[in-house]
Amino acid sequence: MARTLDDARRWAALGTDLVLRAADGLDGDAFAAPSALPGWTRAHLTAHVAANAEALSNLVHWAATGEVTPMYASPEERAAGIERGPALSAGELTVWLRESAQVLEAGTAALTEEQWRAPVVTAQGRTVPATELPWMRSREVCVHAVDLNAGVTFADLPDDFLAALCADVAAKRATAPGPAVTLRAPHDTWELPGEGEPVLVTAPLPDLAAYLTGRDAGLSAADGTPAPALGPWL
C-alpha cells in the first residue's frame, strides 16, 4: 500500500519522539561517544538531525510563501552544522534538537492544501511537492534514532514505516550498480536488479531495513553465505 501524507507525518512525529527521548538521556561524555555512523560522534549526529529540521523548515517556508529558500546555502553550510555539534554542551544540543523540531512541526501544520502541493527543490537537486517533506523527515529521524546508538533499534520502528522505507531504498538502489538481490520479508518482497544471478535474502522486516540502509544486520543468503555487500544508499 502506498504511503500517504498522514502516514509520513505520523512517522516523523514518532521518530522525532524517539530521537528526543534518546538524546535527553545523554550527558556530555555520552554525546562525545561514537554513534553507529563511522566517524561521527553522537554530538555530530544530533547536530545533523537538528540542522536537518532547520533545512526542511526552509523548504516549508518556500512552499508557504513561494520565496526560493534552499535547504542549505552551500555544502559548506551543511558540513558546518554537523561540526557545530561537538562544540555544544549536552543541554545546548538537546535544546537545539527539540526547538528545531518544534519549528518544523509548526510550519508544516500551517500549510494549506495548495501549499502542500507547491514544488520545492531538495539538497540533492530533486524537485518534489511539499508533501514529500514529512517523508524526508521521517526517514531522517527514524533511521538516525537507531544510529544514535542509545537503545533504539529498527525493531522499535513500526512495520508500515519499515515497509515504506524498504520500498523507497530498494527503488533508489535499483538505479545504481550493485549485486542482484531478492529481499523477502514475511509479507513483502523487493528486487534489486544488478550483476549476477539474484541472491535470495530472507529475514524479518527490521533486519532487511537495516541491511538495505547500510546498517549491518549480519544477514545471510539462502545458501548460508553472507548477504552481498551493498554500496552507499544516499
CATH code of residue 138? 1.20.120.450
SS3 34: strand
Q: What are phi and psi of 191, to 5 degrees?
A: -110, 130
Half-sphere exposure of 67 (CA within 13 A, CB side): 7
pLDDT of residue 234: 75
Q: What is the pTM of this model?
A: 0.94
Does 79 share its domain with 121?
yes
Angle at 118 between CA 114 and CA 122, to 5 degrees: 150
Does 48 share its domain with 75?
yes
5-24 vs 42-65: helix crossing angle, rounded to 10: 150
CA distance 138 to 187: 22
Does 11 share its domain with 120?
yes
Does 186 share its domain with 148?
no
pLDDT of residue 81: 84
Burial class (CB in 10 A: 0-12, 13-18, 19+), 214: middle
Does 65 share its domain with 164?
no
Averages of pLDDT over each 10 residues, the chain, 234 residues = 91 98 94 96 97 97 97 86 92 97 98 98 95 98 96 96 97 91 95 92 96 90 92 80
pLDDT of residue 5: 97
Asked whether 167 and 190 are in contact (CB, 8 A), the reply is yes
CA distance 63 to 69: 9
- Answer with the one of 152, 168, 185 that is the final residue of a domain: 152
Does 145 share its domain with 214?
no
Kindly state the cell numbers that stand for 41: 560522534
Question: What is the span of the domain harbouring residue 180?
Answer: 157-234
Does 63 share its domain with 80?
yes
pLDDT of residue 233: 79
- Answer with the one of 152, 169, 202 that is the final residue of a domain: 152
Asked whether 181 and 199 are in contact (CB, 8 A), the reply is yes
Does 87 share its domain with 37?
yes
- Answer with the one of 135, 152, 169 that is the final residue of a domain: 152
Does 76 share its domain with 128?
yes
Instruction: Report the CATH number that the domain containing residue 229 is assigned in CATH.
Output: 3.30.1050.20
SS3 165: helix
Domain tally, the chain: 2
Does 118 share its domain with 168?
no
